[in-house]
Structure 1
Amino acid sequence: MKNSTDEELMILVSNGDLDMMSILFERYHIRIFNFLLKMTRDRDISQDITQEVFYKAIKYRKSYKKGKFSSWIYTIARNIFSDHYQSQKTKEQRLDEIEYKMEQEENGSLEKEEIKEQLNKALEKLNHTDRELVIMSRYQGIKYQEIAEITGSTAGAIKTKVHRAIHKLKDHYLQNI
């Protein structure tokens, strides 16, 4: 079963073979966690949301329409993150006001850490949509077509939006230097 495609496994899960979700979990939990970590900048919240993503994937398995599994699971992750973000806003907290925990590389050089910190600061200055697009395309390596499926847009529009977001990121980064 480990040689099966994600879509074949999810069809089995949607038909009641819940054990197959463990294979999908192994394939995707780190990617989903890293995506959420870049969005939330909080390891604990990212772990909680990642668990919720897979819980909802099982709970709503019947809603899987035999499309690309990665698009479906990332859509669930985006929706849960969005719900979390909205609940934080209703508590009169903004994403940029939350204290973020920085994971320090044990063997990283000071220069690398400074560059990483400056890049993260610049990333935080982007609006939610631009930050999400940069994270999905550059950090997660998701192709424009797949991002388009996840966000309900076209690949051409996503390519343009990512290009503009990268320029904004560059401008913010250069302001911090």
Structure 2
Amino acid sequence: MIVEPKERSLYEEQLIAQYKISGDLKLLGVLYQDYMALVYGVCLKYFKDEERSKDAVMQIFEELISKVKQHEVKNFKSWLYVLSRNFCLMELRKTSKVNMVAIDEQFMESNVLLHHEDVYEKEKSLLLMEDCIETLNTEQQLSVKLFYLQQKCYTQVAEETGYDLKKVKSYIQNGKRNLKLCIEAKIEQAG
């Protein structure tokens, strides 16, 4: 049976409303089951690890238990996608030994994002950086991710990618510059 998007949205809103009243996890499970593949896909994109992604699907469900009650959810699929993405980013941030401010300083050398105290603003900054990383060419993107996010040295990046050491240094330097320009442009557009 094919369910029209409008009917699906209404059905999901009803399930959420019933869950908020009753706290019955079965209702939340019914709602979540249809999107487990989506959540798994999001996690796999960020973690690049099947087992970690499977674990994250369950952890995100556990987060839903309280988060659904706290938020007014109109489009569950979109809301769940953002929740899943944010969960993955927070987990990566926890497991990464890199301080968020240090990442900002290293990538952008820009004061625009360095003084945000608010977690929401830091999350926006991280998402902005993530979007800009995706705009880099393949060599720069890979080199920047390995060097800054995985804290590999130039030699390790060269070994892992097969790129010449001088090229790696160039890709990282140019990638860093391009990230800074992209982020500043996006901030200017938003402002």
Task: With the length of structure 2 as denominator, give the TM-score of the two structures.
Answer: 0.46
State which structure, 1 or 2, has the greater radius of gyration over its C-alpha atoms: 2
Higher relative contact order (CA 8 A, sep 6+): 1
Task: With the length of structure 1 as denominator, give the TM-score of the two structures.
Answer: 0.49
